[in-house]
Structure 1
Amino acid sequence: MGAQKSVHAGKAKIDFNVDFTHRLCAAMMVHSFRNSGTSSPLSLIVGSLCVKHPNLFGKSEKLDLLWDKGLSDSNILIAYRKPRPEWLAQHSFVFQHSISPEVGIHGVPVDNFSKTGSGGVNLCRFSAGLDLDEPGTSNWTTKTSIKFEHVRPVNDDGRSISRDLHGYSVTSSGNFHDNMVVLKQESRFAKANDHSFTRFSLQIEQGIPLMSKWLIFNRFKFAASKGVKVGPGFLLASVTGGSIVGDIAPYQAFAIGGVGSVRGYGEGAVGSGRSCLVANTQLTFPMNLMLDGVLFCDCGTDLGSGRYVPGNPGLRHGKPGAGVGVGYGVRLKFPMGHFQIVSLHQQSIKKNLKAQKNKGASVFRIEDLPIHRRRR
């Protein structure tokens, strides 16, 4: 649901776009309606405003203003790009300010781990820096950025905090905020045809300690996926992993679990670690013009690194450190978006890799795959 308006200002054109997206993936669970203590689905309504100026100073300079606003989070991004020859790296100056609940790390798993409740910790982030997009070669693209980041944890009332509800520090410095300069390089590979596709990405971040108390760390993350057409259906397999060494605040840990990780669990309900490894497999097959069948299996682990996160939030919140989610269902295709009705079964695994007691029976869940993707 949304609206769009274009305004001409001289030779320039300014586009205003407002989108409203209702993310149902965590809220629309049948058993949640029977629990009055759970959050309302209305809390996940997000409004988005996008203003673009394609010719700010008359020399094709571009200015983008993006604003996402929900009841519990917000994100403002300003990007300025000046055109350069195609054989040179395209650079843009980016400023971003966001406030969002840190549910993946400090949230408490509830309802047999299929949902995650707020842990009372929110992150207020400000960043400013330069992005460099290198000219693409064949199937590879490379992007380099250097940014200053200021991270300030706040409670639900908006007050700065240095410790969580259990008295453990939520920053690396132990103060009310963390500062860092991050040099990041990201390489992407993509190749596709009518029957298959291959994607691979690698991100490397280096914290540069320009000041004595600023964070110094090295973090990498990779993601590889392969899709193959199998008869009338489509098989998709992917693996994601990463690790971080050096200074680390709890909010920098890898959160495992959720719609984009191990389905059947709430966000971050599987584990929170310095390292992670997640594998996903999904088979989609058509049943008719508006209906697809879906089978999937997800698994993820923190590789035993949860205890190396300051304060060990994974252990304190009872996260198993490893888990498997298996599901099946149907996908309904409508003009407003795709909806999945699936049955999920989850199995938690102790860190010694022995089977743990089943954390929940099959549940009925509705997932929304929205057309609008939030920009970060």
Structure 2
Amino acid sequence: VKEKTVRNQIKSKVGRYYSEDTIKSDIQSILGLNSFENVEVAVDTATWRVTFQVKEKPYIRNINFKGNKKISTGKLKEEIPLKEKEFFDNAKLEESKTKILSLYADKGYADAKLEVYPTIDENTNQMTISFLITEGNRIVIGSINLEGVKAFKPKKILKLMKTKPKKVFKEETLQTDLKEIEKFYKNNGYIQVKVGEPQISYNPQRTLMNISIPIDEGPKYKIGQITFSGNTVYTEQELRKALTVKPGQIYHDEDFQETRQALVELYSDKGYLHSQIEPEFNPHPDTGIMDINFSITEGPIVYLGKLYVDGLTSTKEFVIRREVTLKEGDVFAAPKIRRSLEKIYNLGFIDSVEPEIQPTDKPEVMDLVLNIAEGKPGVLSAGAGYSSIDQLVGTLQLQHINLFGRAERLNLLWEFGARKQNYEIDWTEPWFLNRPMSLGLGLFNTERVRDYGSVLSAYTEGRKGASVRVGPRLSDYLSLLFSYTYEEVHVFNVDQAVNAGIPAGQPLNVTETNDVSSSILGQVIWDTRDNIFDPSRGNRQSLSTQLSGGPFGGNINFVKPIAQSSWFFPSFWKFVFTLNGTFGMIQNFGSSTDVPIYERFYVGGAETIRGYQYREIGPANGGKMMLVFNAEYKFPIVQEKKRTILQGAFFFDLGNAWTSANDFSWEIGEAENKLHAGVGFGIRFTTPVFPLRLDWGYGLNHKPGEEQSQFYFTIGNIF
């Protein structure tokens, strides 16, 4: 070790005051290099000269292995913490010995012996370490005997175990198996089961291990009376509603623990965080009945003392605090904590939130610490995609969902291709003037070539304008949205063949226009979803009405109400079943003799009924009434940091659009006015910043000659 390296570790310097505490600290710093066995200090009080006398640890030159045949020298050197060309460390030597024996035990050589022979060259202080290994015989499990098993076939119990004949014995695996056996019995009514200590024996050659496991099953019990004691906050009837087990059922330990936890959560909902729910079992072996009494110690109501937010790097602390429903001094109610965590996750740029409850000097007051891990709030993406609507389209997008650390959202989008040019700028402030009310501004300029039948360029539709929106939130679940949009709509390059009905047999009736639309939209939203980006439970209901023209100007007059209902149901593990229904109508009024073609409803494609081309279902020139149903069954494929990143989905879609209510039909079929259905599957890349969908749909009600299936690659969720 170079002298400079040691000097860099000490704080004692020439010209500084001598300090015993500093000297002691310096000794520990030098030892912290892990290069020295001993450090002593000599002090000349006449000159105050300080000398650090150090003794280096031996330097490991070589590590040798002898007697190893079943495990290579390279593998052993790789696995042990002791390394060549490092200073010797006795603790690492002991760890290495344990590791070597463990490696052999994993391969069945539980009788392996190990001897260590270190030699030191006194002149160079370099060490050679030799490991002498006696491998012995390989031992595998010969048999497993279950003693006392009467209620079940032994094979049923053995299937629960990962310890099996002909496999290498592992103590930790056997201990896990014993717990699994006990759990199995307790989940089948044998609450008093006792799984004893396994007895192990060997054959004379010590190559086979025989394991005998004693099991005292005890009686099988059904649940008898369930009573409660000590409860004052809840009535017995209210407590019974929380039970998931009922009298007469065979005792199932996991279900019982869920019931106990449900009672704990019931008290937590009202702030009784110190409540204790202790079951008292009263068995009747002669009848096989187990009466259970829940002894309840309610404790005091707990209030929130201080709220702390830790872990933020770029986000302002008030952004997190304003999402917390629970305020300092409030009753520490568990539902408010859960909802607060959901709201924080719904910001989109938070990877994890870990709540930590800390006691104070008052038992009725608890502090709450929110440990936050931030994610990536923005992304710059460029790519290309293909769809049956726009064919090849390039995309350049800059999106930030935590602008300036204030949770503001900014989206810049440019889509370009032979059939589509689109520019969008959108900004949203979620808490305008520090109130629960969003403010948003948007600019857009889109030009898209529309097709009709075999005519790929039936007409071109251009739309440019601006919008402003305000969204007051009345509660955690209820919100309103008001928006005003001004846009200029230009329909041009009309191919007159489509008006003659040449490609599809039905005239499109589209004319070149230069329209101005000035509209307001009002929307009521009820949203109880746990996660707005990837919901697993809850629902979202919305009712909106758009009014264009009339007192707001422009030459386009229509009213357009739309109702949407989405439901999310958790299934087993993290599978989620989702249902969605959308109904819309549009009606012209005033000087407008009809609804413009570009404002009508079009069904078919990635956003409505998959398995069909865009706008393939219903009237060619769009409908004035629309009804769509969607069902999806989603399941996780890849998860990261408790979030699903990639998921799969099976889906079923059903719907149509009609010119008027008189054309509506509940029948499913190929006819234009009948409901059309599609099925398929897809994958979702579920990120808050850039959600992607890749779906394959198969249409069930195509006419002869139409394409039966379609692929879709889109941004955003269908509902």
Q: TM-score range by the shorter chain?
A: 0.5 to 0.7
* Residue matched to 2:600: 253
The Cα shift of 1:270 comes to: 0.3
Q: CA deviation at 1:100?
A: 2.2
Q: Structure 1, unaligned stretches of length 5 or more?
A: 1-14, 28-38, 111-116, 156-160, 309-317, 349-356
Establish whether residue 87 from structure 1 lines up as the match of residue 435 from structure 2. yes
Take 1:344 and 1:252, find their aligned partners in 2: how far apart are those partners?
A: 27
In the alignment, which residue of structure 2 is the partner of 1:118?
456
Residues 169, 138 of structure 1: CA spacing in aligned structure 2 closer, same or farther, 3 A cutoff? same
Say which structure is richer in strand: 1
The 5 A counterparts of 1:232-251 are 232=573, 233-246=575-588, 247=592, 248-251=595-598
CA apart distance, 1:326:
3.4
SS for the counterpart of 1:251 is helix
| Cα distance, 1:16 vs structure 2 | 9.3
- 1:302 equivalent in alignment to 2:643: no
**2:676 equivalent to 1:324:** yes
**In 2 relative to 1, CA 239–292 (structure 1 residues): closer, same or farther, beyond 3 Å?**
same
Between 333-342 and 225-234, the greater mean CA deviation after superposition: 333-342
**Do 2:611 and 2:696's aligned partners in 1 also have CA atoms closer than 8 Å?**
no
Q: Please tell me whether the aligned partners of residues 518 and 553 of structure 2 are also in contact (alpha carbons under 8 angstroms).
A: no
Say which SS state the counterpart of residue 118 (structure 1) adopts: strand
Quote the offset at 1:321 in angstroms: 3.6
2:627 corresponds, among 274, 277, 284, to 277
Closer/same/farther in 2, CA of residues 85 and 209 from structure 1, 3 Å limit = same
Deviation at 1:152, TM superposition (A): 0.7
Alpha-carbon distance in 2 for matches of 1:220, 1:87: 29
> For residues 169-184 of structure 1, what are the structure 2 equivalents within 5 Å?
170=510, 176-184=513-521
TM-score by length of 1: 0.65
Structure-1 residue corresponding to 2:700:
346
1:186 aligns with 2:528: no
Q: Contact 2:694/2:713 (CA < 8 Å) preserved in 1? A: yes
Asked whether the 8 Å contact 2:611–2:680 carries over to 1, the reply is no
Deviation larger for 259-268 or 85-94: 85-94
Q: 1:195 to 1:135 in 2, by over 3 A?
A: closer
Q: Does 1:262 align with 2:623?
A: no
Contact 1:331 1:340 in 2 (8 A): yes
Within the alignment, does 1:144 sit opposite 2:491 as a pair? no
Q: Which residue of 2 aligns with 1:66?
A: 412
- Report the TM-score, using the length of structure 2 for normalisation: 0.36
Secondary structure, aligned partner of 1:257? coil
The percentage of aligned residue pairs carrying the same residue is: 14
Q: Please report how far the alpha carbon of residue 182 of structure 1 lies from its aligned counterpart in structure 2 after TM superposition.
A: 0.3
Give the Cα–Cα distance (whole angstroms) in 2 for the partners of residues 297 and 202 of structure 1. 24
Alpha-carbon shift at residue 180 of structure 1 (Å):
2.3
8 A Cα contact 1:19 1:47, kept in partner: yes
Look up the match of 1:19.
381
Q: Take 1:52 and 1:240, find their aligned partners in 2: how far apart are those partners?
A: 28
Question: Are 1:265 and 1:346, in contact at CA under 8 Å, matched by a contact in 2?
Answer: no
1:126-151 Cα shifts (integer Å, max 9, x gaps)? 22343222244221222211222211
| Secondary structure of 1:295 counterpart | strand
- Matched position secondary structure for 2:672: coil
Counterpart AA for 2:543: L
Q: CA deviation at 1:275?
A: 0.6
Structure 2 partner of 1:76: 423
**1:101 aligned to which of 449, 463, 469:** 449
- Single out whichever of 289-298 and 130-139 deviates more from structure 2: 289-298
Distance 1:330 1:65 in 2: 26
User: Structure 2 counterpart of 1:295, which letter?
Assistant: F
- Offset at 1:206? 0.7
Contact 2:459 2:495 (8 Å CA) reproduced: no
Deviations 1:14-66 (A, max 9, x none): x9964224335648xxxxxxxxxxx8x5x1332224699968xxxx9x89572
Residue 45 of structure 1, aligned match among 362, 386, 394:
394
The higher radius of gyration belongs to 2
Q: 1:283 Cα shift? A: 2.0
Q: What secondary structure does 1:259 align onto?
A: coil
What is the CA-CA distance between 1:292 and the residue it aligns to?
6.3
Which structure ranks higher in relative contact order (CA pairs < 8 Å, sequence separation ≥ 6)? 1
CA distance in 1, matches of 2:636, 2:441: 44
Aligned pair in 2 of structure 1 residues 151, 342: CA closer, same or farther (>3 Å)? closer
Query: Is 2:368 the counterpart of 1:368?
Result: no
Q: Residue type matched to 1:274 in 2? A: K
- Contact in 2 for aligned 1:270/1:319 (Cα 8 Å): no
**Contact 1:277–1:300 (Cα < 8 Å) also in 2:** yes
Matched residue type, 2:601: F
| 1:133 pairs with 2:495 | no
Distance 1:319 1:178, change over 3 A: farther
